């Protein structure tokens, strides 16, 4: 069997979850992956595949076998005529972005960061924003997967099509993704306009805002009425990138901010002032043009906890106004900016949070300045309650408290997915503690 490393500690990016797998593998070939799965079956071990560890949950954790696809990351084929790219599951999106650009191609939508592997992104429903654009898995045309048995299956609209909708968002519990074939579009530039607005004004005209550009999102600053809007559309204009100011963007926008939030862990009354001051500093109107992926991606700053849900778009105003009202009525609770609000169109992927509904994504965070914990329980509880009230669905890579009885009500195909999981992985070698509570 491919040599595994013992005694290696895995930590996710935010250092909020960690584990010590008994063996850690970095296979380079399909045969090596087969050997690992064979050993796991024989020794009754759990196997979890990890990308770069960006998920703010324990979805990748195990005390048994961990497979990193770090070395299983080759480009297999780039076809600029058909606009299809076939890649191994371990390739990172940031590397893929550069290679696609060199071939005059680009992914149609990206999230806030591109550090993830493509297999990891597909597994958990990675998304960006744009009411006419789906989650990344919507653009996948074929997946090759190795099952627990060692058998390799190809899934597409023409091969094993009846199960294709399941593997497009599989949580890593159906098999190991070997290759992904994804449909791209010709390389494009985005013109982004950043501008301040009032939360209630945007919510009153939300339909107009989200349709005003290809990719609209906004950031609400809690304890204020302010939002910072980001409106991006395809353009043929000359590249004119966002101007980076080291003092303002890095010293003030990162280092001083982290220090202030650290001080606020002792004096939380400071947080509303910090939120407001930072909105005032960074909310001036800006316009710039750059390569698509340079506009889609942005700096997520320092370590943080995150909670995210996808709710029906019609519930957006209710959710945010209730959240704002709750903060006003609970003055002892102080929370960090920002609440990121994004949009995706509906799809037919079995357990996609956007299954059969145009969705608004609400990403809630709480920073961990210098790794220091800050109370978030009440903030998490009210967001979980509002998600439930709105029949929202959790982001699979992030923490939530829903169990199978809840998920069956939210996802019409959840039982079908669970039955397929049992069929493809009868010994449950891909099920860790994080996933077990979803299916029991």
Domains (range + CATH), the chain: 75-186 (3.30.465.10), 189-394 (3.40.462.10)
Cα-to-chain-centroid distance, residue 346? 17
DSSP 20: -
Pairwise pLDDT comparison (18 vs 340), residue with the higher score: 340
Task: Give this prediction's pTM.
Answer: 0.95
Strand residue runs (E) in 58-202: 65-68, 75-79, 84-88, 105-106, 140-146, 152-156, 176-183, 185-186, 189-198
Q: Tell me: pLDDT of 52 over 90.
A: no
| pLDDT score recorded for residue 109 | 98
Residue 27 · residue 73 · CB < 8 Å: no
Average pLDDT score over residue span 24-44? 96
Strand order in the sheet with 47-50: 23-25, 65-68, 47-50
Q: Tell me: pLDDT of 1 over 80.
A: no
Question: 66: which residues sit within 8 A by CB, 6+ positions away?
Answer: 10, 19, 21, 23, 24, 25, 47, 48, 49, 50, 60
Rg (CA), the chain: 22
Q: Tell me: pLDDT of 426 over 90.
A: yes
Distances (CA, A) of 80 to 93, 99, 182, 183, 186: 18, 12, 12, 10, 8
Torsion angle of the four alpha carbons 297, 300, 305, 308, in this order, in degrees rounded to the nearest 10: -30
Query: To which residue do tokens 């949580």 refer?
Result: 171
% residues pLDDT > 90 (the chain) = 91
**pLDDT confidence bin for 2, thresholds 50/70/90:** low
Average pLDDT score over residue span 72-84? 97
Residue 222 · residue 335 · CB < 8 Å: yes
Average pLDDT score over residue span 400-421? 96
CA-to-CA distance for 91 and 115, rounded, in angstroms? 10
Q: Tell me: pLDDT of 110 over 90.
A: yes
Average pLDDT score over residue span 193-214? 97
Q: Tell me: pLDDT of 440 over 90.
A: no
Q: Tell me: pLDDT of 238 over 70.
A: yes
Cα-to-chain-centroid distance, residue 205? 27
Average pLDDT score over residue span 71-91? 98
CA-to-CA distance for 393 and 433, rounded, in angstroms? 20
Q: For the chain, give the number of residues.
A: 440
pLDDT in tens, 240-249: 999 999 999 9
Residue 424 · residue 37 · CB < 8 Å: no
pLDDT in tens, 340-395: 999 999 999 999 999 999 999 999 999 999 999 999 999 999 999 999 999 999 99
Structure tokens that stand for 331 in this block: 């003055």
| pLDDT score recorded for residue 308 | 96
Average pLDDT score over residue span 171-177? 97
b/e per residue 197-229 (b: at least 16 CB within 10 A): bebeebbeebeebbeebbbbbbbbbbbbebbbb
Average pLDDT score over residue span 282-294? 97
| pLDDT score recorded for residue 98 | 97
| pLDDT score recorded for residue 7 | 85
Average pLDDT score over residue span 175-199? 98
Residue 25 · residue 69 · CB < 8 Å: no
Q: Tell me: pLDDT of 132 over 90.
A: yes
Q: Tell me: pLDDT of 399 over 90.
A: no
Structure tokens that stand for 137 in this block: 């898995």
| pLDDT score recorded for residue 24 | 96
Backbone angles phi, psi at 68, to 5 degrees: -95, 135
Query: To which residue do tokens 């191994």 refer?
Result: 88
Query: Rounded mean pLDDT of the chain?
Result: 96
Backbone angles phi, psi at 219, to 5 degrees: -125, 115
Q: Tell me: pLDDT of 410 over 90.
A: yes
Q: Tell me: pLDDT of 15 over 90.
A: no
């Amino acid at each position: 069997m491919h040599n595994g490393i013992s005694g290696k500690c895995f930590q996710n990016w935010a250092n909020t979850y960690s584990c010590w797998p008994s063996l850690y593998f970095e296979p380079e070939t399909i045969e090596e992956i087969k050997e690992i799965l064979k050993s796991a079956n024989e020794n009754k071990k759990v196997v979890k595949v990890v990308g770069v560890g960006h998920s703010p949950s324990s979805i990748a954790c195990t005390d048994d076998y961990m497979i990193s696809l770090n070395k299983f990351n080759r480009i297999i084929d780039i076809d600029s005529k058909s606009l299809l790219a076939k890649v191994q599951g371990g390739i990172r999106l940031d590397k893929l972005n550069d290679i696609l650009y060199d071939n005059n191609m680009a992914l149609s939508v990206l999230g806030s960061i591109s550090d993830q592997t493509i297999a990891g992104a597909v597994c958990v429903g990675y998304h960006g924003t744009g009411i006419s654009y789906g989650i990344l898995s919507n653009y996948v045309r074929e997946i090759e997967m190795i099952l627990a048995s060692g058998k390799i299956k190809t899934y597409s609209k023409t091969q094993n099509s009846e199960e294709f909708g399941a593997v497009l968002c599989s949580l890593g519990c159906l098999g190991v993704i070997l290759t992904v074939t994804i449909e791209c579009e010709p390389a494009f530039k985005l013109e982004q306009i950043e501008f301040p607005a009032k939360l209630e004004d945007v919510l009153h005209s939300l339909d107009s805002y989200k349709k005003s550009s290809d990719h609209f999102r906004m950031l609400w600053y809690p304890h204020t009425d302010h939002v910072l809007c980001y409106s991006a559309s395809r353009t043929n204009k000359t590249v004119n990138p966002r101007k980076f100011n080291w003092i303002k963007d890095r010293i003030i926008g990162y280092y001083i901010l982290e220090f202030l939030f650290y001080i606020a862990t002792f004096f939380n009354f400071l947080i509303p002032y910090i939120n407001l001051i930072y909105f005032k500093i960074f909310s001036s109107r800006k316009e710039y043009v750059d390569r698509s992926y340079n506009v889609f991606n942005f700096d997520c700053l320092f370590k943080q906890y995150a909670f995210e849900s996808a709710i029906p778009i019609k519930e957006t105003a209710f959710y945010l106004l209730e959240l704002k009202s709750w903060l006003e009525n609970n003055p002892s609770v102080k929370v960090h900016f920002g609440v990121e609000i994004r949009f995706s169109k509906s799809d037919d992927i079995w357990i996609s949070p956007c299954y059969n509904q145009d969705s608004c994504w609400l990403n809630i965070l709480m920073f961990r300045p210098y790794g220091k914990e800050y109370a978030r329980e009440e903030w998490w509880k009210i967001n979980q309650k509002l998600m439930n009230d709105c029949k929202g669905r959790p982001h699979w890579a992030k923490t939530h408290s829903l169990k199978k009885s809840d998920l069956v009500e939210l996802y019409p195909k959840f039982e079908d997915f669970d039955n397929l999981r049992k069929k493809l992985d009868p010994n449950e070698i891909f099920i860790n503690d994080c996933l077990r509570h979803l299916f029991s």
